[in-house]
Chain A
Amino acid sequence: MTRIGDPGSTSALGGALRQQAITLADLVADLAQVAHRAERAGRPDATARERELLERTARELDAVGAALQSYTATVLAGAARTRELATEAARADLVVDASLVLEAPGPSRVDPTVRLRARERLQELLNRVTAAEGKELGRIARELERSGPALATVSERSRLGS
Chain B
Amino acid sequence: MTGFRPHSTPAGAAGDPATLRALDRSRRLTADLADQLLTHLPDLGDIGTQRALDSWVEQAADTLRALSEALEERLIDVGSAAGVPARTTQRTGAPRGTSVVSASPSAGPGPGRERT
Contacts and interface: CB of A to CB of B under 8 A. Distances in A.
Nearest to B16: A38
Interface in A4-24: 4-6, 9-10, 12-13, 16-17, 19-20, 23-24
B40 A9 contact: yes
Interface stretch (B46-54, B83-91, B94-102): B46-54
Contacts of B36: 16, 20
Size category, B interface: 35 or more
B55 A148 contact: yes
Contacts of B23: 31, 47, 50
A86 to B, nearest CB: 19
Given A47-B19, A61-B60, A161-B73, A23 B48 contact: no
B80 interface: no
Contacts of A141: 48-49, 52
A58 to B, nearest CB: 10
A47 B45 contact: no
Contacts, number: 166
Contacts of B33: 20, 23-24
A37 interface: yes
Nearest to A159: B66
19 contacts: A5-B44, A6-B42, A9-B40, A9-B41, A10-B43, A23-B116, A24-B30, A27-B22, A27-B29, A30-B26, A34-B18, A34-B22, A49-B7, A144-B53, A148-B52, A154-B63, A156-B66, A158-B69, A161-B8
A37 B21 CA distance: 14
A7 B6 CA distance: 43
Interface residues of A, number: 57
Majority DSSP secondary structure for residues of B touching A: helix
Contact of A46 (B9, B30, B59): B9
B10 A140 contact: no
A50 B16 contact: no
A71 B43 CA distance: 12
Contacts of B56: 64, 144, 147-148, 151
B20 to A, nearest CB: 9
Contacts of A64: 56, 60
B10 A45 contact: yes
